Structure 1
Amino acid sequence: MASWAALSPSIVEYFEGEDSYRCGYCKNESGSRSNGMWAHSMTVQDYQDLIDRGWRRSGKYVYKPVMNQTCCPQYTIRCRPLQFQPSKSHKKVLKKMLKFLAKGEISKGNCEDEPMEPTMEDTVAGDFALINKLDIQCDLKTLSDDLKESFESEEKKKGKSPKKEEPKELIQSQHIEEKLGSGEPSHPLKVHTAPKPGKGADLSKPPCRKAKEIRKERKRLKLMQQNPAGELEGFQAQGEPPSLFPRKANKSNQPKSLEDLIFESLPENASHKLEVRVVRSSPPSSQFKATFQESYQVYKRYQMVIHKDPPDKPTVSQFTRFLCSSPLEAENPPHGPDCGYGSFHQQYWLDGRIIAVGVIDILPYCVSSVYLYYDPDYSFLSLGVYSALREIGFTRQLHQKTSQLSYYYMGFYIHSCPKMKYKLCFLWTQSQSRKTGANGQYRPSDLLCPETYVWVPIEQCLSSLENSKYCRFNQDPEAVDEGRSKEPDRLQVFHKKAIMPYGVYKKQQRDPSEEAAVLQYAGLVGQACSERMLLLRN
């Protein structure tokens, strides 16, 4: 990658010392501390290496929290999409979107938004720098009512009463339950009659189960009676009621993939049409320019309704600086993704109008989420969760052509901030581990160690974070930062339109304090970036 990335070197201007400002999380007036630099231009490889050392961009401002001093340490968090399995709550969000697209009706009463990350301002000439926000919403509504309505409507079509009749016999087979849970095809059902009063429990039956499980089995039995040939194509492997959008049974009996859930087929007479477009935001493509005003109006409404901004605050210039301007150079290597690398807006079009925009960076090894904003009128669709799932699916799609691109970066995780717990809820599949003491299901997420810059599975980090806000996750006490600056004289300096190693530059300078700032910069960006990027010195 160096052969094509080196054609346009990064040029950065480092701000000496550390910035102290009001924390957007705990509201400490001067507790948040970070180092920062202004990126006049930056290659995607350099930015990839920087975020793997704890840096993050907001517009063209690139900053790194001082982890052992800031009031709310911000740990870089990433998801592993290739191993990601959508949880039950994720599936509910995807099914809710499909139902809305198909039928145009959905209950909006029980939609609750998770708290979102607060905003913060940096200290660079009043530039409005907002750190990454992935507005994950948690939809607590189950689909039981929706499925019930769907089932009853089918009964009405057939001229039957939707009222349920209590069957006299219940299916009681532990083996069937295990097969349904594992997704394997079930064997013929064995039916037992209830024991006579006063004779005690029937030992041939398993222990009492929840009423929800019994209702599922009743529904399955009823469907089998209506389909004597065993044609239950729409029935889910885990014993769920028929799908709202029936499709052919999965021959391998494996759980549906994320892509299957997202792109579930819709009826020909669907009420709505959803289209997701990826447009380059920097440099702006013709599609981006054509939709700029519409996209800005969605952002303005989002800031005013969701974040309670006054009408005059979400200005065009602030929107441009924060979400449109980017230091990343557009790069289109032959073996890269079809859309290339750089900064993009992922636009969600519903019936010909924009309802949401995900701001993302496509880098050599990851898709990095920058921000999400959406039309508040559609918050009932849990667009935060939905867009994140689409971005994970998008990362998997890019991986098919560019194998090294295999991660999804979600910005920062702050364990000491209760509002950030939604990222754990999003990344972790639901598990009973706390109740049973088991290890739980696979958790495809990692946190970046702030001292050695290695990725550590998040479940190995939580116990340490419960005891201390700042933690070194790498358990090897002898491990060091392998990418640290070892030869600062090889750092590249851009001075008076000339490029030179720092070893040459420092001989021309008389200010001894400048060396401390340059060495601080070299330590923060690491040896590789210090040799590739040009440090602008006036």
Structure 2
Amino acid sequence: MASVVEYKGLKAGYHCGYCDSEAGKVSHGMWAHSMTVWDYQDLIDRGWRRSGKYVYKPVMNQTCCPQYTIRCRSLQFQPSKSHKKVLKKMVKFLAKGEISKGNCEDEPMEPTMEDAVAGDVALINKLDIQCDLKTLQESLESEEKKKGRSAKKAESNELIQSQHTEEKLGTGEPSHSVEVHTVPKPGKGADLSKPPCRKAKEIRKERKRLKLMQQNPAGELEGFQAHPEPLFPPKAKSNQPKSLEDLIFESLPENASHKLEVRVVRSSPPSSQFKATMLESYQVYKRYQMVIHKHPPDKPTVSQFTRFLCSSPLKAENPPNGPDCGYGSFHQQYWLDGKIIAVGVVDILPHCVSSVYLYYDPDYSFLSLGVYSALREIAFTRQLHEKAPQLSYYYMGFYIHSCPKMKYKGHYRPSDLLCPETYVWVPIEQCLSSLENSKYCRFNQDPEAVDEGRSKEPDRLQVFYKKTTMPYGVYKKQQKDPSEEATVLQYASLVGQACSERMLLFRN
């Protein structure tokens, strides 16, 4: 089934949840009746992001707080000192029940989902209906040929097995191990490509033998045998720092004070595990909104929770070369001693895990759950990469350099920012100096570079009109409204040529 979207155009002059400007926000938006994970992957790589079924793209050179798409290269990620402190704090709490004194680490403070699309809430409420998808014709190929799987990992790579509970994908049940390929640690087996290490005594004898040979080159040297090896063995490698997985899955004592489980449950379409825990999950969300975002008790309603954090346009897919849990929208539930204390809302896409939102029980703020969950999601991305090699990035939503509370995302490195004009990824280190001088920046340093994915043949754009799929070249001949062409061409320029040919633009 092809993606079906309804473009809603430009919306300007509404409240910004980042700088609290009453009329500074500007964005384009569309309602996604349904969407393939491949199309959404392409859209977020062009600066789009979803909130529920509403998909929006900030107008970067006009909005008060430019929002740059940011991704972390999870395979190369190394936790910083502050990240390690958060992970060690969690281990101490689980093992001994210790609660660290003082302020918690810089806690990510995303605005509420409603603030992120504040001016569009009424529109979302109005559009929250199901269109009749049964009438759609499957006239388009919805996917490009998938890239070949990368070469298999060398058999010599070890499997590190954690001794404490981790996700059992797609079931909602805890398992007791997680497999992660890592580089063999020094000292584990001989390296046959190098000469064997030798003792200092043997090296001294070698030196003495050479000295005697220089003094008596033709004579016999008793007690010495020739050694073809070099005089000095290769230097031993320094101790490698602990990996992210080592820090997260550190072994706990049998009598540990607490037990933490992370369960991955599909939220759309809702799995049986999701349905069974939805009410408890909502109660955590309600407390989070009331305590952290100071909302009145009647505002965080079940319908609002469902609309923004449970509903998703993404279609579940389970291709043979994908992760065991499949692609689509999920909730990562953090269970502490049998109760939910936090939920990370994520989308699993062909090339990435995309973080949507996190909410948690305010009673556990001392655990820095915003930082902890981000580190767990990076480790989760690395785990999925083992089965789906093309999936290797962790998308953290938007990086807003002009908003101090949102700059923490730049601390997860190595990471890249998306150029808002050419849609190429640029290492964040190369972007920061420009952002210090201007809120809006083009990161691509090549002045001749253009958007390679731009709409070049708008007549090939696919339209869904009167229950029929047709190219825009055919559709426009039936239209007399001059504003219709401007709207469709604007949509095409924003989604790019590839998506415009695959997705169906619903026109009424």
Normalised to the residue count of structure 1, the TM-score between the two structures is 0.72
* Structure 1 position 494 matched with structure 2 position 458: no
Instruction: Tell me the secondary structure at the aligned position of residue 111 of structure 1.
Output: coil
Residue type at the aligned position of 2:98: E
- The CA deviation string for residues 43-96 of structure 1, in whole angstroms up to 9 with x for no partner, is 000000000000000000000000111111110011001000111111111111
Q: Quick one: distance in 2 between partners of 1:125 and 1:26?
A: 21
Residue type at the aligned position of 1:446: D
Structure 1 residues 185-204: aligned runs within 5 Å: none
- Within the candidate set 43, 46, 55, 1:53 is matched to 46
Q: Which residue of 2 aligns with 1:345?
A: 331
* Structure 1 position 469 matched with structure 2 position 445: no
Deviation at 1:323, TM superposition (A): 0.2
Q: Which residue of 1 aligns with 2:260?
A: 274
Structure 1 residues 147-158: aligned runs within 5 Å: none
- Within the candidate set 450, 466, 490, 1:520 is matched to 490
Instruction: Tell me the secondary structure at the aligned position of residue 310 of structure 1.
Output: coil
Q: Go from structure 1 to structure 2 and tell me whether the alpha carbon gap of 1:491 and 1:312 turns closer, same or farther (over 3 Å shift).
A: same
- Within the candidate set 35, 38, 43, 2:31 is matched to 38
**Among the aligned pairs, what percent are the same residue?**
87
Instruction: Tell me the secondary structure at the aligned position of residue 86 of structure 1.
Output: coil
Deviation at 1:355, TM superposition (A): 0.5
Q: Quick one: distance in 1 between partners of 2:338 and 2:52?
A: 28
Instruction: Tell me the secondary structure at the aligned position of residue 38 of structure 2.
Output: helix
Q: Which residue of 2 aligns with 1:193?
A: none
- Within the candidate set 436, 455, 467, 2:425 is matched to 455
Q: Quick one: distance in 1 between partners of 2:265 and 2:18?
A: 32
- Within the candidate set 108, 123, 135, 2:120 is matched to 123
Q: Which residue of 2 aligns with 1:387?
A: 373
Residue type at the aligned position of 1:56: R
* Structure 1 position 26 matched with structure 2 position 19: yes
Q: Quick one: distance in 1 between partners of 2:22 and 2:362?
A: 30
Deviation at 1:252, TM superposition (A): 7.6
Structure 1 residues 263-302: aligned runs within 5 Å: 263-302=249-288
Q: Which residue of 1 aligns with 2:499?
A: 529
Q: Quick one: distance in 2 between partners of 1:465 and 1:113?
A: 22
- Structure 1: unaligned runs, 5 residues or longer: 1-7, 130-182, 185-250, 428-442
Contact kept in structure 2, 1:57 and 1:63, CA below 8 Å: yes
Q: Which range is displaced more, 86-95 or 485-494?
A: 86-95
Deviation at 1:416, TM superposition (A): 1.1
Deviation at 1:513, TM superposition (A): 0.8
Q: Which range is displaced more, 97-106 or 324-333?
A: 97-106
Instruction: Tell me the secondary structure at the aligned position of residue 264 of structure 1.
Output: coil
Q: Quick one: distance in 1 between partners of 2:386 and 2:426?
A: 25
Contact kept in structure 2, 1:128 and 1:318, CA below 8 Å: no
- The CA deviation string for residues 267-323 of structure 1, in whole angstroms up to 9 with x for no partner, is 111111110000000000000000000000000001101111110110000000010
- Within the candidate set 2, 6, 19, 1:13 is matched to 6
Q: Which residue of 1 aligns with 2:320?
A: 334
Residue type at the aligned position of 2:302: V
- The CA deviation string for residues 136-162 of structure 1, in whole angstroms up to 9 with x for no partner, is xxxxxxxxxxxxxxxxxxxxxxxxxxx
Contact kept in structure 2, 1:122 and 1:128, CA below 8 Å: no
Residue type at the aligned position of 1:479: A
Deviation at 1:127, TM superposition (A): 3.6
Deviation at 1:107, TM superposition (A): 2.9
Q: Quick one: distance in 1 between partners of 2:125 and 2:507?
A: 24
Q: Quick one: distance in 1 between partners of 2:123 and 2:298?
A: 16
Residue type at the aligned position of 1:123: D
Structure 1 residues 136-535: aligned runs within 5 Å: 253-424=239-410, 426-427=411-412, 443-535=413-505
Q: Quick one: distance in 1 between partners of 2:120 and 2:263?
A: 34
Q: Which residue of 1 aligns with 2:78?
A: 85
Deviation at 1:29, TM superposition (A): 1.6
Residue type at the aligned position of 1:449: C
Q: Quick one: distance in 2 between partners of 1:388 and 1:12?
A: 30
Residue type at the aligned position of 1:474: N
* Structure 1 position 64 matched with structure 2 position 34: no
Contact kept in structure 1, 2:4 and 2:506, CA below 8 Å: yes
